[in-house]
Amino acid sequence: MSKRITDLVEELVTPITEEMNLELVDIEYVKEGKNYFLRVFIDSDTGVDIEECGTLSERLGEKLDEIDPIPHNYFLEVSSPGAERPLKNERDFQKAIGKNVAIKTYESIDGEKEFEGELTSFDGELVKLSVKVKTRTKEVTIPYEKVAKARLAVTFNF
């Protein structure tokens, strides 16, 4: 099969998520130990519940059974990306403005490759964070193309 499994699954699942008013966050196809896992992460503005995950799993499972793109046994998992959901695209960054995020970069910026703070702005090219350093706050600007990984970051206030 010339098409990547995740690309094919995205084509199959997108119409279902749109019909169910859900956002497709991510798809991963991985081998862990002896088992293969196809994981589909979904979300919505109000979150997702177990029934929505179950419905999507059933509908996607039927489509996958019809075309049978995976030559071996695998586990299909449909779930929410969780509180620390990844930021995968520009839309995710826009939605995360005002929230706490964790970012890893491909190369050092001011001697650092990992940052955590409030995402204050994003213009498609630059990511701006307000980062606390001990008792003060500093602004960090990260070029979007240098972002290797980003996710929402849960903070606990005591």
Q: ∠ CA 97-121-80 to the nearest 5 degrees?
A: 25
In tens digits, the chain (158 residues) has pLDDT values of 446 999 999 999 999 999 999 999 999 999 999 999 999 999 998 889 999 999 999 999 999 999 988 889 999 999 998 888 899 899 899 999 999 999 999 999 989 999 999 999 999 999 999 998 888 999 999 999 999 999 999 887 66
The one-letter amino acid code at 60 reads L
Quick one: pLDDT at residue 82?
Answer: 86
Pairwise CA distance, residues 151 & 44, whole Å: 16
Q: Which 8-state DSSP code applies to residue 45? A: T
Bridge partner residues of 79 (DSSP)? 41
**Predicted pLDDT of residue 133:** 82
Measured distance CA(65)–CA(68) in Å, rounded: 5
**Rounded Cα gap, residues 145 and 134, in angstroms:** 28
What is the DSSP annotation of 8-38? HHHHHHHHHHHHTT-EEEEEEEEEETTEEEE
Closest CA relative to residue 117, chosen from 146, 143, 135, 138: 138
pLDDT of 2: 44
pLDDT of residue 135: 86
pTM, whole model, 2 decimals? 0.76
Q: How far apart are CA 119 and CA 105, in angstroms?
A: 15
Mind listing the domains of the chain with CATH numbers? 5-79 (3.30.300.70), 90-152 (2.30.30.180)
